[in-house]
Amino acid sequence: MNEEEEKTVIEIHQQGLDNFLIQHGVSRKTIEDNKVEKAKKIPEEYKIYYDYKKTVNNVIIPVSKIKGVSRVSGYSWFELLNACVLRVPIDQGKRLNLDPRKFLSLLNLIKNRNSKNLNEIYLNFDYINFSCYKREMHSDYYVSGQGNHRTITAKNFGVEFLKVSRVHYYEFNDDKYQEYQLYQAKKQEFGKLLERLGLFVDFYGCISFQINDSVITITDYPFENLVDGHRPISEMIGTADLLTPILEEVKNFSERFQQRYRHYPTVLKHFLYQQLQNNEIRIEEQDFAKKMGRCIALKRVNN
């Protein structure tokens, strides 16, 4: 850290970052806005319903449309700068993966330059890459490589535009989005049915049922992680639609058996439940729904 950077740190410690920025020409509104707006990460589901369109070099983008940087998210633009410059932990002692020295060299820019010169400086930076997600008239930009420090200071300084080396453009695909929404609804509905039956998805991605220390594996869970998975959404939904009436039948049998077993002596209920241990029940079996309903009912009346 050189002498000028040390002086800057001392100033910020004494005045607070917000007063330091105001003293050097940043508006209070810009500061207050950056205390509220948080840097976001690119939502993973964007990979599902945004299509890559093109890459353009040497683009000038509006800083107001920048939504996030790489590596860090969930904190306000002001918090990111303040925590790094003052080297203070954030969010229960967490330290951010950012370099305070890079921020200090950028903070020194506003000490000796007016806002017009500052805007010109940010139009001459290079080696910053962004991804842009376009939906109708809206465009959201996210840093996709180097450039975190320059982007965070641009937001906090109230810079209007930033020159970037490369922008990868993605466009919203409504058909894929509607299919994704259907997937989410089906997955949620199917999950509630499993929960009502006391079934769970095990480590290997199978629908299972636990009886004491033994586990009955029923069939494969129909849904994959969309980002990492390979099966089409339509195939997953189709499989879930085939399984749902079978599991509904299991639920009906379990309710009927439960009514019956409630009148059994405790010893008999316990004995019947113990007999289920290490049973194998295959969904392909003709009487699967009846057998599985019986297992669920016995577990419930013994708990």
d(CA 236, CA 223): 6
pLDDT tens digits, one per residue of 260-269: 999 999 999 9
pLDDT confidence bin for 85, thresholds 50/70/90: confident
Strand partners, 172: 50
**For 187-195, what is the mean pLDDT?**
96
pLDDT cut 70: percent of the chain above it: 96
**For 178-192, what is the mean pLDDT?**
96
Pairing of strands 161-172, 206-211: unpaired
pLDDT cut 90: percent of the chain above it: 67
What beta strand segments (E) does 96-145 contain? Answer: 129-135, 138-143
d(CA 112, CA 301): 77
pLDDT at 94: 64
Cα 96-99-100 angle, rounded to 5 deg: 95
Q: What are phi and psi of 279, to 5 degrees?
A: -70, 150
User: What burial class does residue 228 get, using C-beta atoms within 10 Å of its C-beta: 0-12 exposed, 13-18 middle, 19+ buried?
Assistant: exposed
**For 198-217, what is the mean pLDDT?**
91
- Say which residues have a Cβ less than 8 Å from residue 216's Cβ, sequence separation at least 6: 208, 209, 210, 279, 280, 281, 295
**For 221-230, what is the mean pLDDT?**
85
> Integer distance in angstroms from the first to the last C-alpha of the chain?
65
**For 71-79, what is the mean pLDDT?**
92
pLDDT surpasses 60 at 92: no
Average pLDDT of the chain, as a whole number = 90
pLDDT tens digits, one per residue of 124-157: 877 889 999 999 999 999 999 889 999 999 999 9
pLDDT surpasses 80 at 88: no
- Buried-exposed string 153-174: b where 16+ CB fall within 10 A, e elsewhere: bbbbbbbeebebbbbbbbeeee
| Chain CA centroid to CA 75, Å | 14
Contact 69, 148 (CB under 8 A): yes
Contact 152, 69 (CB under 8 A): yes
